[in-house]
Copies of this chain bind each other. A is one copy, B any other.
Amino acid sequence: MKVGIVGLGLIGGSVALKLKEVNNNITIYGFDQNNRSLDFSLKNEIIDKKFDPDSLLDFDYLFLAIPVESIKKQLKSILDKISEKTLVIDLGSTKYEICNSIKNHNKRENFLAAHPIAGTEFSGHVAAKKDLFDNKVMILCETENTNSILLSGAIKIFKTLGMSIKTMDSIDHDKHIAYVSHLSHISSFMLGKTVMDKEDNEQTIYDMAGSGFESTVRLAKSSPEMWSSIFIENKKNIIESLEEYILNINNFKKLIESSDQENLNAEMKKINGIKGILKGIN
């Protein structure tokens, strides 16, 4: 099997590591516009060879693990260049705009929109790890537009990565993911900002911050380039989620202002229901 991976950061590098572990007969070709990532991946045998994205080899699978904005920019020309047998799989965190950008392409069925629900707050080639996808969910969108033989091959691959498969409409995907993932990142970044702006003495944060702050602000360590790209691509849904978030904070603030302990308690008790929901998350 011949696999190409564009983008050798957390996601691309982790795909490579796991694919090599579970396949004996595989050659992984990697590309990254960052030479340090490329050299690191080659030196550490995460990939077997470099490749030039302008002259695409006849890959079985070509994974795109780059910011969503770059996927959207490059996908059309990549589809123009691939062979008939190649399936291009994007691993970005938004799906509708990407699917829409190539919906009339004559190689549309050589494309699969996928979103692995896996990641850490760390990024870049050093963050890659082969167990990243273990027991995680892979969401596939608009699978009806992908060639069914190529699709079933890809599903088999994802299962060897240790993942379970869910399918979803790309519009639905982007709506839900805005709430369940993208909003968390913004709330965390903004918490980090609010605290850092206020506390010019870092020692105060060291002394007063506990594990609660640490957990809530963890995502504020995430990659700016990856996330600015996602926020802009999924702008409409994210803005809607932010407006609801701000409305909820304002209502909660009013309860505090009026010392309405009864309703504060009732509100938080309802939200405590998240306990049961979190237990269901892998």
- Where the two chains meet, the residues of A that have a C-beta atom closer than 8 Å to any C-beta of B are 69, 117-121, 136-137, 139, 166, 176-177, 179-181, 183-199, 202, 204-222, 224-225, 227-229, 231-232, 235, 238-239, 241-246, 248-250, 252-253, 256-257, 259, 261, 264-275, 277-278, 280-282
Contacts and interface: CB of A to CB of B under 8 A. Distances in A.
Contacts of A248: 190, 193-194, 197
A117 B249 contact: no
A143 B179 CA distance: 46
A278 B206 CA distance: 7
Nearest to A268: B224
A164 B172 CA distance: 50
A144 B97 CA distance: 63
Nearest to A227: B268
A216 B252 contact: no
Given A117-B208, A225-B265, A272-B221, A180 B195 contact: yes
A280 B257 CA distance: 34
Contact of A136 (B181, B194, B210, B244): B210
Contact of A139 (B118, B183, B208): B208
Given A166-B207, A215-B219, 11 more contacts: A117-B209, A176-B199, A179-B199, A190-B248, A196-B270, A197-B244, A205-B277, A216-B218, A222-B268, A227-B268, A228-B265
B176 A183 contact: no
Which secondary structure dominates chain A's binding surface?
A: helix
Nearest to A175: B198
18 contacts: A119-B211, A139-B208, A181-B208, A183-B194, A183-B195, A184-B191, A187-B190, A193-B270, A194-B241, A194-B244, A194-B245, A197-B248, A205-B277, A206-B282, A221-B278, A231-B256, A235-B257, A235-B259
A135 to B, nearest CB: 11
Contacts of A202: 277, 280
Contacts of A221: 272, 274-275, 278
Contact of A137 (B183, B199, B207, B265): B207
A265 B278 CA distance: 31
Contacts of A207: 117, 137, 139, 166
A-B CB proximity, top 3 nearest? A224-B268, A228-B264, A184-B216
A191 B272 contact: no
A241 B198 contact: yes
B215 A216 contact: yes
